[in-house]
């Protein structure tokens, strides 16, 4: 089954074609980073308009890359939420319309299920059950995964997501958008011993996260020492270390509570090198395994939507003729397969 995947939940237009027998056939991506850079963050209206301009040309490019015709597509998957409502509507409307015109089934995909399943695009794939750490600009969640749709939310951020805290702290440091990756790069030259920031909510039981206090600690350090540029890298390093340690502690706690030994990490922040190294070492210490997608599949992309859609389409899921998107959509509400 060949499935066209469309991702337009925020500021990246991702188109891919996934074959359930032969794997990923095409994957194209257009990032709106330059479009939003002058504003220091995503402008929803501009994002929606750019998706309108880019989606169809990228679909044509994906078909060409895969050496396929429209008649070779067996189904269409599009991101139906969560995300920016205008951006979601662009991809959903185009995807549902193409499916109707091509007379193939369509399915709306949960953006975070796409991230959760992204490691399945790799040769080394995790078996169920496992713990998933979903870390992105909008979400920080720990989920027990017993199968497709068999999700139990163990913990989540009560305020800022980890990626959001990265971006906001980077902005305080005067770094350009997107700030998270730039902060991580700056942190590589920082002194890890100069500043010590809190590891929020790690001294309390439970698996929820909170990063607003950590962001405040960084803001206070920037206000006090920000006039000295030599301190910026040290602050970035202290902030990154605090986030990594917090995520690591919570992951270990989730594994201990469930007795599981497999951990999946996905979402934009999962591309962070220091976080990957820390989790790999931690899992090795307890005799466990950690799985994550390659960096290009950590951020938003069409490949993960095509894969998740293909799995659900093969199981018989499909949409009616209406177009429905959900800017807020709890992962645990997805039907089980």
Task: Quote the tokens at residue 246.
Answer: 């917090």
Q: Which of 40, 156, 35 is nearest to 87 (CA)?
A: 35
Q: Annotated binding residue at 95?
A: no
Residue 30: φ, ψ to 5°: -125, 125
Q: Per the annotation, does 135 bind a ligand?
A: yes
> Does residue 150 have a known ligand-binding role?
no
- Residues 227 and 123: their CA atoms lie apart, in Å, by 48
Three-class secondary structure of residue 244 per DSSP: helix
Strands 262-266 and 289-291: parallel
Residue with tokens 């963050």: 41
CA dihedral sign of residues 32, 36, 42, 45: negative
Burial of 200 (0-12, 13-18, 19+ CB in 10 A): buried
The answer to whether 137 is annotated as binding is yes
3-state SS assignment for residue 291: strand
Residue 180 labelled as part of a binding site: yes
Which pair of structure tokens corresponds to residue 222? 């920037």
Q: Which residues of 267-305 are buried (b: 16+ CB within 10 A; e: fewer)?
A: bbbbbbeebbebbeebbeeeebbbbbbeeebbbbbbbbb
Q: Is 138 annotated as a binding-site member?
A: yes
Distance between CA atoms of residues 197 and 216, nearest Å: 10
Residues whose CB is less than 8 angstroms from the CB of residue 68 and which lie 6 or more positions away in sequence, other chains included = 2, 17, 25, 26
d(CA 101, CA 310): 19
Q: Which residues are annotated as a binding site?
A: 111, 115, 134-138, 167, 180, 272, 300
Q: Which residues are annotated as a binding site for substrate?
A: 134-138, 167, 180, 272
Q: Which residues are annotated as a binding site for Fe cation?
A: 111, 115, 300
């Amino acid at each position: 089954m060949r499935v066209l995947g469309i991702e337009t939940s925020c500021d990246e237009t991702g188109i891919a074609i996934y074959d359930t027998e032969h794997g990923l056939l095409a994957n194209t991506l257009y990032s709106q980073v330059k479009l939003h850079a002058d504003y220091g963050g995503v402008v929803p209206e501009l994002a929606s308009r750019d998706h309108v301009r880019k989606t169809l040309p990228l679909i044509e490019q994906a078909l060409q890359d895969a050496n396929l015709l429209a008649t070779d597509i067996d189904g269409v998957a599009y991101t139906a939420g969560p995300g920016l409502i205008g951006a979601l509507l662009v991809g959903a409307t185009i995807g549902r319309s193409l499916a109707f015109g091509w007379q193939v089934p369509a399915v709306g995909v949960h953006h975070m299920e796409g991230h959760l399943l992204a490691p399945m695009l790799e040769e080394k794939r995790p078996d169920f059950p496992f713990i998933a750490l979903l870390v992105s600009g909008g979400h920080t969640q720990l989920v027990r995964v017993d199968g497709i749709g068999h999700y139990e939310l163990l913990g989540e951020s009560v305020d800022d997501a980890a990626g959001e805290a990265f971006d906001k702290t980077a902005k305080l440091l005067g770094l350009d958008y997107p700030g998270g990756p730039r902060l991580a790069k700056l942190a590589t030259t920082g002194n890890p011993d100069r500043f010590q920031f809190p590891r929020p909510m790690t001294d309390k039981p439970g698996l929820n996260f909170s990063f607003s206090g950590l962001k405040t600690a960084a803001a206070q350090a920037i206000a006090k020492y920000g006039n000295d540029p030599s301190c910026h890298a040290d602050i970035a390093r202290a902030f990154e270390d605090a986030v990594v340690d917090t995520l690591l502690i919570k992951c270990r706690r989730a594994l201990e509570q469930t007795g599981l030994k497999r951990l999946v990490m996905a979402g934009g922040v999962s591309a962070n090198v220091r976080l990957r190294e820390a989790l790999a070492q931690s899992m090795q210490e307890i005799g466990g395994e950690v799985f994550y997608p390659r960096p290009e599949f950590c951020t938003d992309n069409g490949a993960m939507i095509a894969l998740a859609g293909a799995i659900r389409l093969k199981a018989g899921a499909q949409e009616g003729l209406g177009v429905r998107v959900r800017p807020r959509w709890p992962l645990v509400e997805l039907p089980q397969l």
